[in-house]
Structure 1
Amino acid sequence: MATSDQLLSTQFPGPTLLDINGIQLEVFEAGQQNAGNPIVLCHGWPEHAFSWRHQVPMLVEAGYHVIVPNQRGYGNSSKPAEVTDYDIEHLTADLVGLLDHFGYEDAIFVGHDWGAMVVWSLALLHPTRVSHVINLSLPYQERGEVPWIEFMEQVFGADNYFVHFNRQPGVADAVFDHHTRQFLRNLFRKNVPPREPDPGMPLINLAEAKAPLGDPIMSDDELDVFVSAFESTGFTSAIHWYRNLDRDWHQLVDADPIIQQSSLMIYGNRDMIPPSERLQEFVPNVDVVHLDCGHWIQQEMPEATNEAILSWLKRNHQKTSRPRPVVKGSISI
């Protein structure tokens, strides 16, 4: 069986540590020959830059400079101790800093799950740095009149994992850390048969389940990359993103809530996250694609995902070139 290091080195771009926004980000870069046409891929929770392994070669071949960070709290990127260091201002500033490092005024941003939340917010807080938006699974989240965690607690109750992460800090983290491989093996599945939920917090139940349901979305070697990363980091720094949702709600108060950029929203028809009924109110220049899969869209249906992204880019993105800047402050690892 290939180790996670071997898999990353042979089938995915090698990592570089970059000094960005006062921290270090582990960045996987490909298609340097396409400098001037940047596209940044932002992973979700609990994932890794490696979740975009199927998209990187396609985008390079299509003429893009592909930049894939492990965002703060993940992989070998910095893991600040303070919970507030993971709020939306920090997360979006990291991506702005990434553009600054490479000398780009703007880029296409692609996000899945939590990465989509960051990309939507980046387009609101730093609109001039985002040329186009492509998001998977998580549609635009209307800010509303009540902070998000308070709203979710009212609607979904205390066992909702967003609420649990905030109201019982450290409890889920410890369970996931104790069952890292089992949790990720049970989580990254497709074709999971419908069933009545058990009492309690669903993700804790999933982490403690001895047998997985459905079918795996990746090989054991691929799963090893995710397991190795979280065995090294633990889950707390990644969960801190959730612990800032009400803080994020306050930080977005003055932002224009309308996404002006041309956007593509890709849904999985079997995803537990439902499509937004009001997407076009907030993202008027959006195209929508539905794929017959669950939550892990780009890993479950990589070819269909690639086709949807590439077709949309061909229709909506006019590439421009500029000289590649001199890059400083990086260390290969």
Structure 2
Amino acid sequence: MNPKFGIIDFPKATMISVNGVALEVFEAGKENAGKPIVLCHGFPEHAFSWRHQVPALAAAGYHVIVPNQRGFGNSSCPTEVIEYDIEHLSGDLVALLDYYGYEDATFIGHDWGANVAWRLSQLHPERVNGVINLALPYQERGEKPWIEFMEEVFGGDFYFVHFNRQPGVADAILEENTSRFLRNMFRKNVPPVPPEPGMLMINLARAEKPLGEPILSDSELAVFVSAFESSGFTGGINWYRNLDLNWQILAEVNPIIQHPALMIYGNYDMIPKFERLAEFVPNVNVVSLDCGHWIQQELPEETNQAILKWLERQNT
């Protein structure tokens, strides 16, 4: 048992210096060198989000590498917003492969981690041998920068826009209400309700009564609360503040991802499915599970089965 987490079977952390930052990395299946899989968390998450997948993948013969990416957990939280652009985020993962001596790896991402995995496949295609992404499908670049487009469509209170147009506001409110925000965020079977005025994340941080059912036990929730009480939320929010810069960075990059890929959707996720996914990821398989956004935590066994079945097909 890891005393820091109080959770059986979750690996202990190692601090690894790569790409100008220190990353808190959790590993399993080290003896299976040569079969690396890198798990990439989203927001507001943590490497611990993959606690159900780590032992299953290690048992299947993989070297499982789970970093807290920059801005999260005990990993470095650079002060400059630009240090969270997609070149830095993907560069951290490339440097992590270099650290372990791997030419390439399979990358599994959820939420923002999925976005990083998609873009890593474009920016450093030679370092990726396969992609498995949960919740967030490939995002088409489009003709307008993403934040500008979202502001036109969804308005200034949409949280992507709010994070960019009102820097520091949400950061402070989430930090003042860390436990409540995370308790209200990690829910399932949330009933459909009319949207409240104001920014969603701030509303969640201030809501006294959560909707739906919890997906985390008290001890699991405590891991997330402890991590964000230490790191704050600004590092993770800075990922959002680079979306228009990322749009510029990707201007000359091939938009088509040729790697074998698996996309896992939650049927009740607020993020819509991308019907044209195969245009941009022609070698993709798609699986839909009866859950919401927190796929690998809501339906861990079904998620593991989908991942392992796909991996087995790639290795035959």
- Secondary structure at the aligned position of 2:286 is classed as strand
8 Å CA contact 1:29–1:66 kept in 2: the answer is: yes
8 Å CA contact 1:165–1:239 kept in 2: the answer is: yes
* Unaligned residue ranges in structure 2 (runs of 5+): none
| Deviation, structure 1 residue 49 | 0.1
8 Å CA contact 1:124–1:255 kept in 2: the answer is: yes
Distance 2:245 2:173 in 1: 25
Shift in alpha-carbon separation, 1:281–1:76, aligned structure 2, 3 A: same
| Deviation, structure 1 residue 3 | 9.7
Which of 174, 185, 210 aligns to 1:212? It is: 210
Distance 1:88 1:147 in 2: 14
What's the TM-score once normalised by structure 1's chain length?
Answer: 0.93
- Render the CA deviation track for 1:215-235: whole Å, top value 9, x for unaligned: 000100000000000000110
- Secondary structure at the aligned position of 2:264 is classed as strand
Distance 1:26 1:262 in 2: 28
8 Å CA contact 2:2–2:11 kept in 1: the answer is: no
- Render the CA deviation track for 1:151-180: whole Å, top value 9, x for unaligned: 000111111000000000011111100000
8 Å CA contact 2:9–2:55 kept in 1: the answer is: no
8 Å CA contact 1:96–1:129 kept in 2: the answer is: yes
Counterpart residue number, 1:58: 56
Counterpart residue number, 1:107: 105
Distance 2:12 2:65 in 1: 11
8 Å CA contact 1:4–1:222 kept in 2: the answer is: no
Distance 1:224 1:4 in 2: 13
Counterpart residue number, 2:40: 42
For residue 166 of structure 2, what is the amino acid of its counterpart? Answer: Q
Distance 1:5 1:33 in 2: 24
Q: CA RMSD in A?
A: 1.1
Task: Extract structure 1 runs of 4+ deviating beyond 6 A.
Answer: none
Which has the bigger relative contact order, CA under 8 A and spacing at least 6?
A: 1
- Render the CA deviation track for 1:26-55: whole Å, top value 9, x for unaligned: 000110111110000000000000000000
Counterpart residue number, 2:272: 274
| Deviation, structure 1 residue 4 | 7.3
Distance 1:199 1:183 in 2: 17
Which of 95, 98, 108 aligns to 2:96? It is: 98
Counting aligned pairs with the same residue, the percent is 69
Distance 1:81 1:4 in 2: 30
- Secondary structure at the aligned position of 2:39 is classed as strand
* Unaligned residue ranges in structure 1 (runs of 5+): 319-333
- Render the CA deviation track for 1:46-77: whole Å, top value 9, x for unaligned: 00000000000100110000000000000010
For residue 40 of structure 1, what is the amino acid of its counterpart? Answer: V
- Render the CA deviation track for 1:79-131: whole Å, top value 9, x for unaligned: 00000000000000000000000000000000000000000000000000000
| Deviation, structure 1 residue 277 | 1.3
Q: Find out whether 1:7 has 2:6 as its counterpart.
A: yes
8 Å CA contact 1:175–1:204 kept in 2: the answer is: yes
What's the TM-score once normalised by structure 2's chain length?
Answer: 0.98
